């Protein structure tokens, strides 16, 4: 088993287990796909955390042993499989947090970038070493990294293959939180707890508004925002949230 899925009520924790550095092999990606499908189908899912076993690495990238035999079509097939799996996290109708307990390189960083919020162990390092292998990031890294930190800095780091510290990644906006050594999962769970208390329907529509809006003009993005706001106004969660506020009590959201 390369993937462990555990539940804490409505929080799903997906853990990569491929020691020593959690390489993203084809079997691991297949199990990761199964895990994300399970949490997508589970009605109780409110938040997901993706993390990894061990302290050395979150994920050290794809399985390089696959590369020597690749041709154009098999190369496209390989990266498209990874993209399909990672896109499921990016497009999931709930927040996905990444607890980066160690280095995240290549495909490992791309997995982290597909999540909504990244929490990095202060000892972690991140980078894209692909150009040193004669290839480029292939699981969405060229696209998500540039959108997150800007095209100039993304190009510099991808072109140079430089590995940067968690502190530098935080400064650039590639990660949202730094955690003390050994506490990235704990920090992620604290953040997840706050999110699980919110309306799951509102979280889903907020994520959609940001994800789809950023790809459009501000005008079109705001039109989408208005449409989603209107849809929420007819939801049970909106009624419950407003009523609970007025009654000074904790809301009990049902996601409808």
Tokens of 181: 């050594």
* 53 within domain boundaries: yes
- Per-residue pLDDT of the chain (256 residues), as tens digits, is 999 999 999 999 999 999 999 999 999 999 999 999 999 999 999 999 999 999 889 999 888 888 899 999 999 999 999 999 999 999 999 999 999 999 999 999 999 999 999 999 999 999 999 999 999 999 999 999 999 999 999 999 999 999 999 999 999 999 999 999 999 999 999 999 999 999 999 999 999 999 999 999 999 999 999 999 999 999 999 998 998 899 999 999 888 8
> Is 247 labeled as catalytic in the residue annotation?
no
In the set 37, 110, 189, 193, the catalytic residue is 110
- 212 and 159 in one domain? no
* 107 within domain boundaries: yes
- 97 and 40 in one domain? yes
- 150 and 47 in one domain? yes
Please state, in angstroms and rounded to a whole number, the distance separating the CA atoms of residues 29 and 185: 21
pLDDT of residue 142: 98
Residues sharing a CB contact under 8 Å with residue 234, sequence separation 6 or more, in sequence order? none
pLDDT of residue 244: 87
- 226 and 137 in one domain? no
Tokens of 153: 């800095």
- Cα 243 to chain centroid distance, Å, stands at 33
Neighbours of 148 (CB within 10 A): 15
> Is 110 labeled as catalytic in the residue annotation?
yes
pLDDT of residue 53: 96
Please state, in angstroms and rounded to a whole number, the distance separating the CA atoms of residues 3 and 35: 8
pLDDT of residue 156: 98
Helix axes 200-213, 236-246, angle to 10 degrees: 120
Domain that holds residue 204: 200-246
- 90 and 67 in one domain? yes
pLDDT of residue 210: 97
* 223 within domain boundaries: yes
Tokens of 241: 């949230």
In the set 130, 156, 225, 240, the catalytic residue is 130
The overall pTM is greater than 0.75: yes
Strand order in the sheet with 3-8: 3-8, 11-16, 47-52, 96-100, 117-121, 177-179
Please state, in angstroms and rounded to a whole number, the distance separating the CA atoms of residues 128 and 192: 28
* 148 within domain boundaries: yes
Query: Which CATH number does the domain housing residue 217 bear?
Result: 1.10.12.10
Q: What is the tally of structural domains in the chain?
A: 2
Tell me the C-alpha to C-alpha distance, in Å, between residue 161 and each of 74, 127, 152, 158, 164.
24, 7, 14, 5, 10
């Amino acid at each position: 088993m390369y993937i462990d899925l555990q539940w804490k009520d409505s929080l799903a924790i997906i853990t990569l287990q491929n020691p020593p550095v959690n390489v993203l092999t084809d079997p691991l990606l297949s199990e990761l796909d199964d895990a994300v499908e399970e949490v997508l189908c589970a009605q109780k899912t409110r938040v997901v955390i993706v993390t990894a076993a061990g302290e050395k690495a979150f994920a050290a990238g794809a399985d390089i042993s696959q590369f020597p035999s690749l041709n154009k079509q098999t190369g496209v097939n390989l990266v498209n499989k990874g993209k399909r799996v990672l896109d499921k996290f990016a497009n999931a109708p709930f927040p996905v947090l990444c607890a980066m307990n160690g280095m995240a390189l290549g495909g490992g960083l791309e997995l982290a970038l597909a999540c909504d919020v990244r929490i990095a162990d202060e000892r972690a390092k991140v980078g894209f070493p692909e150009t040193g292998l004669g290839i480029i990031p292939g699981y969405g890294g060229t696209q998500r990294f540039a959108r997150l930190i800007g095209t100039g800095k993304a190009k510099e780091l991808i072109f140079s293959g430089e590995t940067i510290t968690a502190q530098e990644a935080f400064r650039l906006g590639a990660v949202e939180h730094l955690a003390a050594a050994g506490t990235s999962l704990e920090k992620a769970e604290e953040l997840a707890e706050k999110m699980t208390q919110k309306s799951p329907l509102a979280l889903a529509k907020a994520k959609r508004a940001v994800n789809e809006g950023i790809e459009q003009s501000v005008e079109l993005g705001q039109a989408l925002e208005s449409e989603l706001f209107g849809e929420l106004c007819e939801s049970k969660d909106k009624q419950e949230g407003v009523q609970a506020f007025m009654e000074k009590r904790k809301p009990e959201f049902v996601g409808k």
